[in-house]
Amino acid sequence: MIDNRSWDDALTGLRGLAASWVLLFHLFGVVGPRALFVPGTSIELHWLLTSGGAGVWVLYTLCGYLLAGPFVTRENSRQVPHIRRYLLRRLWRILPPLWVQILVLSIVAGWADGQMLIRLKEMLPYALLVQNLVLPLSAPAANAVWWTLPVEFDFYLLLPLLFAIVGPHLARRPRMAAMWILLIAVAVEIAWRQHWLKVIDPQRVADLVAVAGQLPGVLSCFAIGIATRLHQATTARGDSRGIAANGLFLLGIVIAVAAIVAAHLTAATYWRGSLMYYLLQPAVATGCALIILACERGGAMARALLANPISRWLGLISYSLYLWHLPIFDWLAPASRVTPLQGTELWTYIALAMTATLLVASASYLLVERPALAMMGRYRARKSNQASTAG
């Protein structure tokens, strides 16, 4: 049997590496994009960094997989999920670190221009996770990564509704339910992306990026995560010594990398509706799903690369790492830079920015996230005790 702790550690490590991929993508943009090659060859490497936004899709797929778990278990046991508790847990997981960051950024901005209250008022939609409803999608934010948070929050709201619809079929035909979830999600995603290609001028790439990144435009990532959980619930875990888990791990990497390379090679037509415009996200999510299954089956490669102490710590601080890296990069960037950083200045900036980001993210996790999660744990334990006493 597979050790549950090893499995959880591997998934935590995968989350940490996905957040780190997004970090490297933004770091590459701040220091100044450049062509990178395998030494002594003409084989390009910079696509690994310019595609770092795909780390967000990996996080979405993991989100779908992990959050579907309790619903799958409850539906199979014919229990009704407690929706209020579910939503409270999800909000308490993401809001405290976000609110602390909003307060800090408001203080920093307000200190500079003496308008702290105005800054706080401007950030209210972001604090409530409704900026995608009340602000233009391409409106600049104090932290550019905030745009993903309402997308994930919208998925939190959608998930209970989804399982209310497919729940009656899960116990009898879970794989059929998974297939319908995938088909509907992909159809919605294609229709959404195709619609906005017709409405928005292809030259307005920033607007296309904004609308394509909303929940209907990335629904396949969440759906593939849910389908992976449904598949996992109907199959027994494999032997950690088997070759199959390592094969799944490698296949997942190959599929994701092949899709990213194909998108890189056709980048000129991507936002004009090329085939990769529709295939890239589902392909990356599929690759992530195979890696998740490899972790679940206890593959040696997955354990070595994802369950080691470094990957696991990055996973534990991944949310704070995701929130804080870009503001820190911007604060430390040379104000007068007009050309890409080079030489000593480049490596000094990278070392300083990475060190500061890891320190701040670790502090945020230890001082904000972990205490908030502990508080939620105590609240749930108290409610459980009260329910037991009343029973």
Confidence of residue 104 (pLDDT cuts 50, 70, 90): very high
Q: Tell me the per-residue pLDDT of 180-193, one tens digit each, with 9 for 90 and over.
A: 899 999 999 999 99
Average pLDDT of 240-247? Answer: 71
Domain that holds residue 272: 4-390
> Please, what is the Cα angle at 331 between 330 and 335, to 5 degrees?
80
178: exposed, middle or buried (C-beta count within 10 Å: 0-12, 13-18, 19+)?
buried
CA atoms within 13 A on the CB side of 27: 24
391 against 351, higher pLDDT: 351
The half-sphere exposure of 282 on its side-chain side, counting CA atoms within 13 A, is 19
pLDDT digits (tens, 9 = 90+) for 63-78: 999 999 888 876 554 5
Q: Residue 82: pLDDT band by 50, 70, 90 thresholds?
A: confident
What domain count does the chain have?
Answer: 1
Q: What is the pLDDT of residues 305-354, one digit of tens each?
A: 999 999 999 999 999 999 999 999 999 987 766 678 888 989 999 999 99
Residue 241 pLDDT greater than 50, yes or no: no
Which pLDDT score, from 0 to 100, does residue 239 have?
A: 47
Note the pLDDT tens digit of each residue in 267-313. Answer: 999 999 999 999 999 999 999 999 999 998 888 899 999 999 999 99
What pTM was computed for the model? 0.92
Q: What share of the chain is helix, strand, coil (3-state, %, to 5)?
A: 80, 0, 20
Query: How confident is residue 117, by pLDDT bands cut at 50, 70 and 90?
Result: low
> In whole angstroms, what is the distance from residue 51 CA to residue 49 CA?
5
Q: Supply φ then ψ for residue 81, to 5 degrees.
A: -60, 140
- Distance between CA 208 and CA 227 in Å, rounded? 28
> Token pair for residue 263?
């998108």
State residue 44 phi and psi, 5-degree precision.
-75, 145
- Token reading at 18: 């996905």
| Residue 36: strand, helix, or coil | coil
